[in-house]
Structure 1
Amino acid sequence: MTAAPGFTLRALHTEDWPDVAEMQAQPGFRWGTLRPPYESRDAVRKWLEDRSPGDLYIAAEAEGQVVGLTDLTCGRGRRRHAAGIGMGVHDGWQGQGIGTALMAALIDAADNWLDLKRLELTVWADNAPALALYRKSGFVEEGRLRAYGYRDGAYADVLAMARLRGLPG
């Protein structure tokens, strides 16, 4: 467990599903993802139950509740040097350093425990807070995917970003 001001980082557990379902139902959290509105709590529980044991899931906990999470989905075979990242923070806890702490913990695990060389993600092109966090964490834009997803009644672009460690780039 890692302590930070007002919250603690720890492994995400299957039993956390009620907090995760509540967090993912928040409009701001959902806006930053591809999740549809009104996702069932059963779907969230199943997602947590079906996680791959080779992937990494970190939760931020405050006041006894999960208020942020990040996951590292590790590549297999010839992509085992790479991993995809997902991340989100509860609407009521944004702007308090949780995303920064989650990203730092994820990068530490990727670099110092899993020897990953490439971390990759997609982010809505208009998600300024997420873009600032990712850039601050060493991610660079690799491309723009036009009309990637449908959100708020219109198609929206995402940016493909990556952080390379020890590779030409």
Structure 2
Amino acid sequence: MSESSISLTRFSEAHIAGVTALYNDPAVTRQVLQMPFQSTEVWRKRLGVDDERQVKLVALHQDQVIGHLGLEQYSRIRRAHCGSLGMCVAVAWQSKGVGSMLLSAALEVADNWMNLRRVELTVYADNEAAIGLYRKFGFETEGLMRDYAVRDGGWVDTLAMARLR
């Protein structure tokens, strides 16, 4: 499958079932902070807020959701130059350019439309593929957060990463 068969679009109501299925994949769930077995209603509420400080994108292949990215500008006045992002890609589509497409599109909006100076994220310290992707886009590790979350019954460390423009 080529990148030309993948399209990016703004998240809409039509994508809720696909996003729910994506995040409910056990291999995806273990790399994000979401709980397993979430309902479509949970995702509808979470993603249904329409706010110009939020950019919500999905990557599609033949109308199937294969990736999701959310970018949010902070609302506090003294942090309005900053945003945070979170993303995931379906396991079958990892290391095939989908993450790069999502991140590139989000950072173009962050830089040229939201005027964000700083974009930050957290990533599990053992997720080498994601860390490599973020580094490719200029993110640098700012710290290690020990025992940040529970995963598979054990504690896992997280890296705080940011990209400054």
What TM-score, normalized by structure 2, do the two folds share? 0.94
Number of the residue aligned with 2:79: 79
Number of the residue aligned with 1:32: 31
- Listed one character per residue, the Cα deviations across residues 30-65 of structure 1 (whole Å, up to 9, x for unaligned) are 111011121122211221223534211111111111
- Over the aligned positions, Cα root-mean-square deviation in angstroms equals 1.4
Contact 2:53 2:74 in 1 (8 A): no
**DSSP-derived class of the 1:32 partner:** coil
| Post-superposition offset of 1:94 | 1.6
Q: Which whole-Å CA distance do the structure 1 matches of 2:153 and 2:68 have between them?
A: 27
Number of the residue aligned with 2:111: 111
Contact 2:141 2:160 in 1 (8 A): yes
Structure 1 unmatched ranges of 5 or more: none
Contact 1:83 1:118 in 2 (8 A): yes
Matching of residue 16 in structure 1 with residue 15 in structure 2: yes
The within-5 A match list for 1:54-73 is 54-73=53-72
Contact 1:12 1:58 in 2 (8 A): yes
Contact 1:23 1:91 in 2 (8 A): no
Q: Which whole-Å CA distance do the structure 1 matches of 2:35 and 2:112 have between them?
A: 35
What TM-score, normalized by structure 1, do the two folds share? 0.92
Number of matched pairs: 163
Partner amino acid, structure 2, of 1:105: A
* Percentage of pairs with the same residue: 38
